[in-house]
Every structure is written in C-alpha cells, then in structure tokens.
C-alpha cells in the first residue's frame, strides 16, 4: 500500500521580535526548516536561500520515483546546493559574509525519510503515543551533556544553550548528520526551530501532537504554547501525518513560510 503525507506549516515572529529569521517549506515529498543565525549578519537571507535551494530539489524530486533513488544522496546534494548559494551571495555582497543558518530537511519517498541536519532545529516523531527526538543538537551545551559534564535538566537552564557548534555558514565548511527514518502508518512528524523547543517542554510538545486532530491543529497549538511561554525567538513548526493512499489535491502543493519572502515568494502564515 502506498502512503503519503498530510502536512501543515506555520511560523510566527514571536511577541518580542519584529522580524522573522526562520524559513520553512512543506511539499508532498519534503519537510524543511531553516533558522537564520541570530546575532549574525543577515540570518534571514541565509535561511531563505537555503529553503529556496531545497525547494528546487523538491520540484525536481516531485517528477521522479524516489523509491528508485538514493534519497540520502539527494538530500545531501540539496544542502550542498544551499551552501553553494550562500557562498555565491556572500561573494557578490560583502555585507552577507558570515551569514548562516541551521537546516533540518526530511525527504519522503513513500516509505520513509532521508534526513539531513545541521544546527539545533529539531525533528521528532510521535509513534504509538511516544515522542522521540530524531535529530541531535549541534550546540555547545549538548556537547557538555554528551560528555557527561552537565545533566539534561542543567542544559535546559544553561545561559549558553543556544551557542551553535555546527551550522551552514557562508565561507565555512559544514558537517551534516545524514540518516534514514523508516515511517509507519499513523506516525506524526514534527520539524521545528528552537523558538519552540527552547520554551516548550518535550512533554508539552507530545501532548499537543497527541491531542490535535490534524496537523494544522497541532501547528496552531505548538505555536500558541511557545507564544504563551514568552516566545523570545521566532517560532516555526512543520507537522506531517503518514496517511494511506496517494496525495490528494489538497496535499499536493508546496507551501513556504517565514523569511523566504526576501527571495520573492508569497508568504502564507499557516496552511495545510
């Protein structure tokens, strides 16, 4: 039996930000979130260019049978193209040098996902009522947790918890995590920026995903929870359910949100 994705996407600047440095995309075969590096030059341009490159990958992938392709290589190549575009933009405009972004991209082939990840945006799966984090944060604080120097609870309160160790940044080499996730019918996936996970606990994320009737409701409540918690950063969420059958007309479009408008695309705030 063929399975497909039913998706929703949303992005909010948060109550304390005037701009949005996040960009994100959903499409029948791709989920992606990029969070421009705060405190650096033109993080919004970096995230927008990254999502644009991944959107071009999706447009090509939509016309081929991904079950016959090396999807890990395809998503790796999509991120490599994003990195190339960041370098090209920075070469053309010195003010853009040093701009960077996180990226978490999940390429769907009807059976599962090829995942490319760098930074501290996250991907989760809700399966049989249990929430599992699929990605590993590339932050200084996470490295301290991995080394056993601090606990996970201490990491959540650490003043430098958002300091990134690995990013996609113009003029610099990058290192991706690449892996595959086999999906099951009934799975619910979340890809999000740290504007959600910095202020909303995994337990609250689980409850929102578990109790929402569809992806659009899940996106709404996740963003609402982050805003109610103070929302110091931009908040972006993509939710996808694995459902039986081929995509319907309502599932077949590409939707982008956030800072991507800087590259000339329209910006719906939320859709499914």
17 versus 107: the higher-pLDDT residue is 107
Summarize pLDDT for 255-271 with one digit per residue, the tens. Answer: 999 985 555 433 333 33
Average pLDDT over residues 161-172: 87
Q: What is the pLDDT of residue 40?
A: 63
Summarize pLDDT for 185-216 with one digit per residue, the tens. Answer: 999 999 999 999 999 999 999 999 999 999 99
Backbone angles phi, psi at 102, to 5 degrees: -85, 165
Average pLDDT over residues 19-35: 96
For residue 34, list its beta bridge partners: 23
pLDDT band at residue 124, thresholds of 50, 70 and 90? very high
Average pLDDT over residues 125-130: 98
157 has a pLDDT exceeding 80: no
The answer to whether residues 27 and 234 touch, using CB atoms and an 8 Å cutoff, is no
The model's pTM: 0.91
Structure token pair of residue 7: 């998706």
The answer to whether residues 178 and 97 touch, using CB atoms and an 8 Å cutoff, is no
Average confidence score pLDDT of the chain: 89
Q: What is the pLDDT of residue 203?
A: 97
pLDDT band at residue 18, thresholds of 50, 70 and 90? confident
The answer to whether residues 236 and 193 touch, using CB atoms and an 8 Å cutoff, is yes
Number of other CB atoms surrounding residue 68 within 10 Å:
8
252 has a pLDDT exceeding 60: no
């Amino acid at each position: 039996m063929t399975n497909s994705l039913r998706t929703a996407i949303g992005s909010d600047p948060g109550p304390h930000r005037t701009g949005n440095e996040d960009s994100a995309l959903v499409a029948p075969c791709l989920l992606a979130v990029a969070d421009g590096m705060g405190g650096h030059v033109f993080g919004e341009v970096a995230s927008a260019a990254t999502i644009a490159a991944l959107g071009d990958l999706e447009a090509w992938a939509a016309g081929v049978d991904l079950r016959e392709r090396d999807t890990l290589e395809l998503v790796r190549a999509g991120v490599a193209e994003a990195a190339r575009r960041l370098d090209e933009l920075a070469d053309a405009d010195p003010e853009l040098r040093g701009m960077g972004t996180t990226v978490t991209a999940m390429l769907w082939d009807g059976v599962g996902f090829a995942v490319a990840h760098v930074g501290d945006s996250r991907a989760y799966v809700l399966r049989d009522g249990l929430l599992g984090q699929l990605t590993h944060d590339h932050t200084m604080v996470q490295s301290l947790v991995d080394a056993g120097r601090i606990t996970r609870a201490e990491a959540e309160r650490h003043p430098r918890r958002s300091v990134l160790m690995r990013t996609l940044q113009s003029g610099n080499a990058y290192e991706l995590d690449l892996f595959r996730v086999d999906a099951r019918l009934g799975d619910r996936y979340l890809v999000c920026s740290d504007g959600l996970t910095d202020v909303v606990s995994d337990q609250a994320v689980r409850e929102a995903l578990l109790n929402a009737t569809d992806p659009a409701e899940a996106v709404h409540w996740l963003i609402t929870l982050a805003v109610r918690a103070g929302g110091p950063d931009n908040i972006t969420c993509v939710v996808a359910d694995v459902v039986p059958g081929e995509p319907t007309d309502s599932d077949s479009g590409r939707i982008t949100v956030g800072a991507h408008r800087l590259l000339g695309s329209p910006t719906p705030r939320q859709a499914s």
